[in-house]
Amino acid sequence: MARILSVSPIVVPCLFTTSRRIVRVAVTARNPSISFESMALKPPLHPTYDLKGIINLALAEDAGGQGDVTSMATIPVDMEVEANFLAKEDGIIAGIALAEMVFCEVDPSLKVEWSQKDGDCVHKGLQFGKVYGRAHNIVVAERVALNFMQRMSGIATLTKEMADAAYPACILETRKTAPGLRLVDKWAVLIGGGRNHRMGLFDMVLIKDNHISIAGGITNAVKSVDLYLEQKNLKMEVEVETRTLEEVHEVLHYASQTKTSLTRIMLDNMVVPLPNGDVDVSMLKEAVNVINGRFETEASGNVTLETIHKIGQTGVTYISSGALTHSVKALDISLKIDTELALLVGRRTNRA
């Protein structure tokens, strides 16, 4: 029999500099000056996710045990500068609160100001924030802060487009998020005007095709969930995936015969692509009509910016799209330090 190894958590050091020294801060460090209460839109809840730990892990992988050798070699220890955040394309800005947390973790004395908030629309060329303080620490924090902001803003921008097109249905993301960034990605969806699907495997029952196959059918799977929740005295949302109208009828028949914990029916791949690029939503619409409001409904599969409006008009409650997070295009954002030399070079290259 194979042995099961117990792996202890590893505390990864985060390295940055306050002068030319390297300072180590543990992943578990807490900064009392950061408060979710002051945020325009708080991150979703997760029982074990350590947001500050993720920030410190990102800083640590950048520092690599040595710190920023380029900055230590080129930037005077006590030099202070002002740097401006610049939107280089149109979109929805997201990650402002998280970026501020990054700067605070690196150097709590850095002063950060914003003219926009998470969820606001920004246009190419807009300076929407600035940070002032020790130049070295601004540069150390720059890439980590921008990486979070660019990814989150890309997610929020696409979410906003899809949410507007899906109305009156609500747009949801899925669990197809970047490993380690589950909460960050889902936070960006909220900022973009979407709703969160289940956070993970723990907060909602979602009976999918593999569960159904192993359980011996859709009725057996739902019945097993009902029994399990009753035995464990658990109350949570329950969703079952259906792939055909026959499965929808089977679920409804089971629900009519017994008390069930089921709350939502997923209608998977009932949006059928057509050769001309359009989609046929007749099966989806029929399924929604058959369910007739007895359960929430969720359309999944073949959801794009081009198809989502048509899907949203069928009467479904929700539309879920993995593309919101698994195929994100980052929004182009930069952080520019305005020294006289930088401005001179910028004018020469038409970048000022």
Check if the beta carbon of residue 243 is closer than 8 Å to that of residue 219. no
Confidence band for 18, pLDDT divided at 50, 70 and 90 = very low
pLDDT over 90 (residue 114): yes
What would the DSSP string read from start to end of 34-67? --GGGSSSPPPP-SS--HHHHHHHHHHHHHTTT-
Distance CA 208, CA 298 (A): 13
Confidence band for 279, pLDDT divided at 50, 70 and 90 = very high
Domain 14-154+330-348 shares a fold with domain 162-326: no
φ and ψ of 268, to 5 deg: -90, 130
Q: What is the overall mean pLDDT for the chain?
A: 88
Q: Which amino acid is at 4?
A: I
φ and ψ of 301, to 5 deg: 100, 135
Q: What is the mean predicted confidence (pLDDT) over 266-292?
A: 97
| CATH entry, 14-154+330-348, from 3.30.300.160, 3.40.50.300, 3.90.1170.20, 3.40.50.970 | 3.90.1170.20
Strand (E) positions, 184-227?
205-207
| Residues assigned a catalytic role | 143, 176, 208, 241, 268
Instruction: Tell me which architecture the domain covering 162-326 has in CATH.
Output: Alpha-Beta Barrel (3.20)
Q: What is the pLDDT of residues 326-346, one digit of tens each?
A: 999 999 999 998 766 555 555
Distance CA 276, CA 273 (A): 8
pLDDT over 60 (residue 173): yes
Quote the pLDDT of residue 87.
98
Q: What is the pLDDT of residues 144-161, one digit of tens each?
A: 999 999 999 999 999 999
Q: What is the mean predicted confidence (pLDDT) over 319-323?
A: 97
Residue-range domain boundaries for the chain: 14-154+330-348, 162-326
Q: What is the pLDDT of residues 27-86, one digit of tens each?
A: 233 344 555 555 778 899 999 999 999 999 999 999 998 899 999 999 988 899 999 999
Quote the pLDDT of residue 347.
60
Quote the pLDDT of residue 78.
87
Which of 5-19, 164-178, 207-221, 307-321 has the least mean pLDDT? Answer: 5-19
Quote the pLDDT of residue 41.
87
Q: What is the mean predicted confidence (pLDDT) over 178-201?
A: 97
Q: What is the mean predicted confidence (pLDDT) over 103-131?
A: 97
Q: What is the mean predicted confidence (pLDDT) over 249-270?
A: 98
Confidence band for 9, pLDDT divided at 50, 70 and 90 = very low
DSSP annotation of 78: T
Check if the beta carbon of residue 145 is closer than 8 Å to that of residue 102. yes
3-state helix, strand, coil in the chain (%, to 5): 40, 20, 45
% of the chain exceeding 90 in pLDDT: 80
pLDDT over 70 (residue 256): yes
